[in-house]
Amino acid sequence: MQVIRHYSNVPVDARGAVVAIGNFDGVHRGHQAVVARAAALADEMGVPLGVIIFEPHPREYFNAKGPNFRLTSFHSKARLLERLGVDILYVLSFDSAMANKTAPDFVLDVLVRGLGVLHAVVGYDFTFGRGRSGNVGVLSWIGLMEGFGVTVVEPVVRPRDEEGAGEIFSSSRIREHIEAGEMRKAARLLGHWWSVEGHVRRGEGRGRELGFPTVNLDLGRSVTPALGIYAVWAEAQVAAPGGGERLQRVYPGAGYVGTKPTFANAPVQLEVHLLDADDELYGRLMRVSFIDFIRPDAAFADAAQLKTKMAEDCAEARKILKEPWARLDAFDEGLDAVGGVGR
């Protein structure tokens, strides 16, 4: 997948694409439907499939001190979009210049002159331009005047055979599930397990002292899940035997999101104990997928009680991760189906 971070002086082979436009936070099943529609049109027209996103997320730009809310970091979003078969990812800087573009200027400067889009695909609630003054009607009208097509994807709802049938797929609803520790409910809406990606950093070493060494990741701007213990899968690249190309390894684990109240309240952090593994992973990029909530965060009388409880937590995580529904790829069919649309 080609990544382009500007809309001026774009290479010729990156112009004239069918593009899906949006924030696509979470790349959930509703977003996947928008990309799938764009993919079908791109294949029909014989042109590249592009996606336009904005970094930082506009909500972060306008409310930088607000609560963390993102379902996907840029890296996670790019990875998921690539799996959907996207050929070109246009990552446009959302800065003061972009925020102050009027709706017509955005279309003319970015879509027409900058990217030369052949067709744009957006969700029914898409808004753009200064003060969110542009909507799908405005986009369709300007597209008609400027000679590019516009397709509006109507609300995508859960099918009749699913719990919550008729519910619109939405990032807000997914955040609610994650904040409640309802990871399977979130995954059903996402079409994939919710995950956090980041580089492994060194912690205080307290887990190793207790006999449960952990890898530590920053949650960044991600929405904060319910504090407590989770069954997780952790993925990281490790060196192949004898050196050379790195291999992707998947580790079962028990994840902790909390403030360490047994010792001293600290900022919320993510720590993962990898079951039956103690590989050197400092500095490596890791993805942690949250599978199931085990128990809430709690303070213990002393380290001995905490150690006993941690052993129970790890045993429960092992049990959960052996369940068929807990497979790492259990919810990936949608991603594979969209990515396989003639691509």
Quick one: what percent of the chain has pLDDT higher than 70? Answer: 91
Q: How confident is the model at residue 239 (pLDDT cuts 50, 70, 90)?
A: low
Do the beta carbons of residue 177 and residue 186 sit within 8 Å? yes
- Which segments within 26-96 are labelled E, that is strand? 49-55, 88-93
* 315's tokens: 């045993």
Please give the Cα distance from 289 to 183 (Å, whole number): 10
Model confidence at 242, pLDDT cuts 50, 70, 90, reads low
pLDDT of the residue at 342: 45
The pair of three-digit structure tokens given for residue 173, joined into one six-digit string: 């609803």
- The least confident of 24-28, 211-215, 259-263, 332-336 is 332-336
What is the dihedral sign for C-alpha 158, 164, 165, 168? Answer: negative
Chain-wide mean pLDDT for the chain? 89
Higher-scoring residue by pLDDT: 240, 81: 81
When comparing pLDDT for 282 and 223, which is higher? 223
pLDDT, average across residues 213-219: 87
Cα separation, 310 vs 208, in Å, equals 12
pLDDT at residue number 71: 96
Identify whether the C-beta of residue 65 lies closer than 8 Å to the C-beta of residue 31: no
Tell me the pLDDT band of 254, cut-offs 50, 70 and 90: very high
What pLDDT sits at residue 64?
81
- For residue 299, the tally of other CB atoms under 10 A from its CB is 13
Tens digits of residue pLDDT in 182-207? 999 999 999 999 999 998 887 665 65
Percent with pLDDT over 90 in the chain: 68
Which residues pair with residue 252 across a beta bridge? 233
Residue 243, pLDDT > 70, answer no
Q: Which residue has the higher pLDDT, 41 or 281?
A: 41
The structural domains of the chain, ordered by start, are 2-158 (3.40.50.620), 194-326 (2.40.30.30)
Mean pLDDT of 14-27: 96
**Cα angle vertex 195, ends 95, 263, to 5°?**
100
Q: How confident is the model at residue 208 (pLDDT cuts 50, 70, 90)?
A: low
State residue 220's pLDDT score. 85
- Position 157 scores a pLDDT of 85
pLDDT tens-digit map of 291-340 = 999 999 988 878 888 888 999 999 999 999 999 999 999 988 667 666 55
The stretch 205-210 carries a mean pLDDT of 57
120 band by pLDDT with thresholds 50, 70 and 90: very high
Among 44-53, 74-83, 153-162, the minimum mean pLDDT is found in: 153-162
Examine residue 104 and say whether the peptide bond preceding it is cis (omega within 30 degrees of 0).
no
**CA atoms within 13 Å, Cβ hemisphere of 46:** 0
Q: DSSP letter string over 152-221?
A: EEPPPB--TTSTTTTPBP-HHHHHHHHHTT-HHHHHHHHTS--EEEEE-B---SHHHHTT---EEE--TT
Give the DSSP letter of residue 168: B
CA distance 19 to 38: 6
Reported residue count of the chain is: 343
Strands 88-93, 49-55: pairing is parallel
Answer whether 229's CB lies under 8 Å from 303's CB.
no
- Say what the pLDDT of residue 179 is: 97
As given in the structure block, the two tokens for residue 223 are 């929405």
CA distances from 222 to 105, 209, 268 (A): 32, 29, 12
